[in-house]
Amino acid sequence: MAGHSAWKNMKHRKAAVDKKRGKMWSKASRAIIVAARLGGGDVRFNSSLRMAIDEAKSVNMPRETIEKAVKKGSGEIDGENFQAIRYEGYGAGGVAIIAECLTSNVNRTAPDIRMIFDKNGGNLGVLGSVSYNLHHAGVLVIERTRIEEDRLMEIVLEAGADDVSAEEEMWQITCAPAALAAIRDALEAAQMPAAEAQIMWIPSTTVEVEGEHSAQIVRLIDALEEHDDVQKVFSNAIFID
């Protein structure tokens, strides 16, 4: 994982959630709608929907709002048709940036994302121009004080995990995206639920940034996350204090 801490990215995102709760509810609702539309409205048979609902709950989205989003996705009530699209580009210092979006109008979203890159010292590339240097992976984190490493390894490796590493006060578990639901269920069965569980883009190589380059990358990521159509942003930046 080239020393990359997915937990640090998760903490950054959680801090942003506290400041932008209303916007995050809108983003969470879109994720639920798309997941329900693709896999049905029953979480027992739709792990993507379960994950989307878990993320909605993590930002304190009301139960009634969650249920309404599920009904929109499953077709019980009318709702917008959102399309998943990924934008890739580079920020200052050659940092790779991926923005995952859910949009009802690609013709609106694409120029907006390009403008954000241009205004913040970056360059929007074509699909695949960045993702070749990252890989899709499931990532779960659990507090280190809750479980010993040997016991954790026993639970998650049997369920399909690839690796367990220590990241600050957390254990970080990585796996193939398809194995994430099984590992999450195994931890819950052991009464050790993960604090976070999501699918992320993990870089194969990282870029250290500091000073002005660091400030530019932060502004670019913040501007992307502010956009209504952007769900999540990933990068291979390592920020040097």
Are 237 and 225 in contact by the 8 Å Cβ rule? The answer is no
pLDDT of residue 65: 96
Task: Check pLDDT > 90 for residue 191.
Answer: yes
List of domains in the chain: 6-74 (1.10.10.200), 83-132+206-239 (3.30.70.980), 134-203 (3.30.70.980)
pLDDT of residue 10: 60
DSSP string for 127-159: TTTTGGGEEEEEEEEEEGGGS-HHHHHHHHHHH
Question: What is the residue-averaged pLDDT of the chain?
Answer: 91
- For range 215-220, the mean pLDDT: 95
pLDDT tens, 74-110?
A: 999 998 899 999 999 999 999 999 999 999 999 999 9
pLDDT of residue 1: 36
pLDDT of residue 20: 66
Distance, in Å, from the CA atom of 114 to the CA atom of 210, rounded to the nearest integer, reads 24
pLDDT of residue 3: 43
Are 237 and 122 in contact by the 8 Å Cβ rule? The answer is no
- For range 194-215, the mean pLDDT: 92
The confidence band for 168, taking pLDDT boundaries of 50, 70 and 90, is confident
